[in-house]
Amino acid sequence: MGKRDLSTLEHHLFVCQGDTCKKNGAKQLRKNLKQAVEERGLKKSVLVTKTECLDRCNDKCTAVDYPAGVWYKDLNPTDAPKLAEMIETNDVWPEKTSYIRDERGFSKEMPSSIKVFYPEGKTKPEKEKKKTKKKKKKKSN
Ligand code: FES
């Protein structure tokens, strides 16, 4: 058992490993997601773990992004790189999303971006801050 530091975490992705999802590639999906997260340099901010049946078996394969409150559906192992990208950029992937939490609760209405809960004392991840600085420099030239 690991003792992972959670203070840098922004997304915890629970990938269903219930029977129905497993029959539809969930094991490989989880493996590919872990790899995609590592390849994008997101290991400190995105945690991928397995979970039991999420009670949305018709949506196989399913995953939930906590605390953003995004429920993913119809995932297959080849979706892993794009899903990692969506999570990194906080973009919404409507075709693969069943519900997103907003101020009213869980909704099927898709917002333009995903709300991110940054660790205490931070407003934007370091990577984003650097991008923003570069954009400002370009504008002033
Ligand atoms: S087995 Fe994945 S939602 Fe039920």
In this predicted model, what pLDDT tens digit does every residue of 94-103 receive, in sequence order? Answer: 999 999 998 8
3-state secondary structure of 63: strand
Does any domain span residue 1?
A: no
3-state secondary structure of 36: helix
Strand pairing category for 11-16 and 46-51: parallel
Task: Please name which of 120, 133, 129, 125 lies closest in space to residue 43, comparing C-alpha atoms.
Answer: 125
The domain that contains 132 carries what CATH number?
A: 3.40.30.10
Residue-number span of the structural domain to which 60 is assigned: 11-140
Does any domain span residue 6?
A: no
Does any domain span residue 5?
A: no
In tens, the pLDDT along 19-68 reads 999 999 999 999 999 999 999 999 999 999 999 999 999 999 999 999 99
Does any domain span residue 117?
A: yes
Cβ atoms of 34 and 63 within 8 Å: the answer is no
Does any domain span residue 4?
A: no
**Residue of the nearest CA to atom 1 in ligand 1?**
18
Does any domain span residue 20?
A: yes
pLDDT of residue 129: 47
Does any domain span residue 96?
A: yes
- Whether residue 93 has pLDDT greater than 70: yes
Residue 50 Cβ inside 6 Å of ligand 1? The answer reads no
Does any domain span residue 23?
A: yes
Residue 21 Cβ inside 6 Å of ligand 1? The answer reads yes
Question: Cα separations (Å) of 65 from 40, 47, 48, 77, 141?
Answer: 17, 10, 9, 17, 39
pTM listed for this prediction: 0.82
pLDDT of residue 104: 84
Please count the structural domains in the chain: 1
Q: What's the CA-to-centroid distance between 26 and ligand 1, angstroms?
A: 9
Q: What's the pLDDT band for 77 if we cut at 50, 70, 90?
A: very high
End-to-end CA distance of the chain, in Å?
A: 51
Task: Please name which of 104, 111, 16, 116 lies closest in space to residue 66, comparing C-alpha atoms.
Answer: 116
| Bridge partners (DSSP) listed for residue 49 | 14
